[in-house]
Structure 1
């Protein structure tokens, strides 16, 4: 069903991008010129110490390639609490999960108490099945529901996007233990002065988004996932076919971020609030142009051409 028939006329944006909703939320779209976008068989992950207890994990190429517009693999991170560790993302394949796990263990031998998935896209959560049995997985409610109902379809989608033979085939569903409903959050006190706030604003890139805010004694750090993938020239990744609600929710999260806060985007190097402003400017300008096109009576094809 065409999205234009589903929501109001301002959703011409969806037609503009040729997005068609499907029963598993994933849109049909042209594949990138080169598959895979990034190769899970060649990515090397690197540890970045932010505080004594908070660490980001990024592709080793992120620092040099993000601002060149070269797509980067998924970012991750972890917080070492008083009794154990909270892990952010579990990656797409065993090869990448093993690298992440090794980096965690290079810092602490404490148990992994929690693992947070910021999205239902496989590069953020397909490593869940490799977690220790005692670890509790946290997702937003749509993420949990979609993975539970459509895991095999999502797996095939990821294989199509990232290629065969990358280890995606071996992934297995492991359901969430803690689920955060829409417009709610979960706050965890990990001890050692670390408070983690997990925020479900609703759709910001997809309905499965979950934002991670970590407040320490002297710094606040955000993991923003796919809604803020990287600094410019990266543009918002809207392939799940949503736009109107995401514009509001992106602005809502952006307003919550302090000027001195540290930001870990979903697929780029560590930055700050100023570094992700381009995302807000882009979606705001795009919405304005589409509203103008609607008021002037342009068709979808005319809007795309203009």
Structure 2
């Protein structure tokens, strides 16, 4: 795997292999490697877990944000990444508000890892979600997954739905009709709670809404996960959320750390998954370098 920009570019077997590595592999030491974390949108979980993964692998890292970089002076993302390549960076992790930003980086020769591209994709988040589900159920076959919230603006919803269906799960959407992609009719929160094996709440992406989009002041009562709705869960149902959680909005604050919540386990799995992805792209880079030398 040269880079990771979307799970759509990986086979089912490649995805499952990354999950297996993340959940038990001893990784080699990458003490002579440098990662650059280029975060052009705010982030806590993704940025910190990449930094922790890099430290666990023995790597050194650079952190770059838009305010402190030449992007503020008009430099393109391509030239920023080519600069990092030129000074010896081994891999670049990028979060951007621009969907599919990686398309302009075709002539970059170091691994690119997509840490979130606008409302497009977030492959390492999808992988950590998959790992959390796999640890719980062992398989994805026939699981009922309900993704609830701001579906249309979420990079998590579309990416997760696609890969979960590929792996055999059934996926349902719940939330306001106005926040659904064209052609999608949501199920009610009450119905979703009854059938879900996994309930995945999403944050409302207000920063991606335009001024004409509706606001739901009683969102939690109308569409969110309340304690009353959670009582309809099956005994084995788990609650997930990619974060950040807006307590009291998409789910009641008492449920964030409920016994069936796996929200903080997802965060821990983020470090495992990002270690596995970094190790895989760096290994591929080394293999290609060896092939050229031979």
Larger RCO, structures 1/2 (Cα 8 Å, 6+ apart): 2
Q: Going by fraction, where is strand more abundant, 1 or 2?
A: 1
